[in-house]
A and B are shown apart, each in its own frame.
Chain A
Amino acid sequence: MNALELTDVRKVYPVGDSEVVALDHASLTLGQNEILALVGPSGSGKTTLLSIAGGILSPSSGKVVVGGEDISDYSNGQLTRFRQEKVGFVFQSVNLVPFLTAAENLFVVDELGPRTGKPARATAGKLLDELGLAERTKNLPSQLSGGERQRVAIGRALMNDPDLVLFDEPTSALDTGLGAQVMELIRSEMKQRGISAIVVTHDPRITEYCDRTVQIVDGELSA
Chain B
Amino acid sequence: MFLALREIGRAKARFGLLVSAIALLVFLILFQQSLQNGLLTSFTGAVKNQSAPVLVYSVDGQRVLQASVITPDLEQRVRSTEGVGEVGAIRQGTFTGAPLTESENFDTSVIGYDAGADGEGLGAPASLSEGRLPTRAFEGVASAADARNGYGVGDVVRIVPGDAEISIVGIAQEAQLNVGPTIFVSNETYLELVAAVNPDAGVPPPNVLGVAPAVGVTDAQVVEAINGQSLELDALTRSDAAAKTPGVAQVQQSFAIIFLLYALVVPCVTGLFFLIVTFQKAGALTLLRAIGASARSLVWSLLLQAVIILGAGLALGILLYLPVSQTRLGGLELQFEEGAVIGWSIALLALGLVSSLFAARRVLKIDPMEATTGRGVGQ
List the interface of chain A (C-beta within 8 A of B). 47, 50-51, 56-57, 77, 80-85, 89, 91-100, 104, 107-109, 111-113, 140, 156, 160, 168
Q: In the complex, are the beta carbons of A104 and B297 less than 8 A apart?
A: no
Query: B292 to A98, Cβ gap below 8 A?
Result: no
Nearest 9 interchain pairs by C-beta: A84-B292, A93-B374, A83-B292, A94-B283, A99-B10, A111-B2, A97-B284, A47-B372, A99-B7
What is the minimal beta-carbon distance from B282 to any residue of chain A, in angstroms?
9
**Contacting pair B290 A99 (CB below 8 A):** no
A83 nearest CB neighbor, chain B only: B292
Partner of A57, one of B2, B7, B369: B369
B180 at the interface (CB under 8 A from A): no
Contacting residue for B288 out of A56, A92, A97, CB 8 A: A97
B352 adjacent to chain A (CB < 8 Å): no
B167 at interface, CB cutoff 8 A: no
Q: Which residues of A contact B10 (CB under 8 A)?
A: 99-100, 140
Given A80-B294, A85-B292, A112-B294, 20 other A-B residues pairs in contact with their CB atoms under 8 A: A50-B372, A56-B290, A56-B371, A56-B372, A57-B369, A84-B293, A89-B290, A91-B290, A91-B371, A91-B374, A94-B283, A94-B284, A94-B371, A96-B287, A98-B281, A99-B284, A100-B6, A100-B10, A111-B2, A112-B288
Whether, in the assembled complex, B11 has its beta carbon less than 8 Å from a beta carbon of chain A, the answer is yes
B88 at the interface (CB under 8 A from A): no
- B45, CB-defined interface residue at 8 Å: no
- Chain A residues within an 8 Å CB radius of B281: 98-99
List the A side residues contacting B6 at CB < 8 Å.
99-100, 104
**Smallest beta-carbon distance B174→chain A, Å:** 51
Closest to A169 in B: B372
Residues of A contacting B376 in the complex (Cβ-Cβ under 8 angstroms)? 94
Which of A56, A94, A156 is most buried by chain B, counting CB atoms within 10 A of its CB?
A94
Query: A108 with B288: in contact, given A50-B372, A92-B372 (CB under 8 Å)?
Result: yes
Question: Does B3 sit within 8 A of A, measured CB to CB?
Answer: yes
Cα of A82 to Cα of B291 in the assembled complex, Å: 9
Q: Which residues of chain B are within 8 angstroms of A111 by Cβ–Cβ distance?
A: 2-3
Of the candidates B11, B287, B374, the one having the most CB atoms from chain A within 10 angstroms of its own CB is B287
- Chain B interface residue count: which class? 20 to 34
Residues of A within 8 A of B291 (CB): 83-84, 89, 109, 112, 156
B206 in the interface (beta carbon within 8 A): no
Interface flags, B258-285, vs A, CB<8A=1, else 0:
0000000000000000000000010110
Q: Is the CB of A97 within 8 A of B369?
A: no
Q: Is B368 an interface residue (CB 8 A)?
A: yes
Question: Hey, which chain A residues are within 8 Å of B11, CB to CB?
Answer: 99
Residues 40-90 (chain B) with a chain A CB within 8 angstroms: none
Within 8 Å by CB of B286, from A81, A94, A140, lies A94
Residues of A within 8 A of B7 (CB): 99
Q: A residues within 8 A CB of B371?
A: 56, 89, 91, 94
Contacts of A57 in B (CB 8 A): 369
B369 CB to closest chain A CB (Å) equals: 5
CB distance from A148 to the nearest CB of B (A): 17
**Closest Cβ of chain B: how far from A55's Cβ, in Å?**
9
Q: Which residues of A contact B372 (CB under 8 A)?
A: 47, 50-51, 56, 91-92, 168
Name the distance in Å between A104's Cβ and chain B's nearest Cβ. Answer: 6
Asked if B292 and A56 sit within 8 Å, CB to CB, the answer is no
Whether B297 and A112, one on each chain, are in contact in the complex, defined by CB atoms closer than 8 angstroms, is: yes
Q: Which of B284, B288, B294, B372 has the most CB of A within 10 A?
A: B372
A-contact 0/1 string along B328-345, CB 8 Å cutoff? 000000000000000000
Q: A-facing mask of B367-379, CB < 8 A → 1, else 0?
A: 0110111101000
- Expressed in whole angstroms, the minimum distance between the Cβ of B151 and any Cβ of chain A is 60
What are 25 of the A-B contact pairs (CB < 8 Å)?
Answer: A56-B371, A80-B289, A82-B292, A83-B291, A84-B291, A84-B292, A89-B371, A91-B290, A93-B374, A94-B284, A94-B287, A95-B287, A96-B287, A97-B3, A97-B287, A98-B284, A99-B7, A99-B10, A99-B11, A100-B3, A100-B6, A108-B2, A109-B292, A111-B2, A112-B291
Question: How many whole Å from B41's CB to the nearest CB in chain A?
Answer: 49
- Which chain B residues in 283-331 approach chain A with CB under 8 Å? 283-284, 286-294, 297
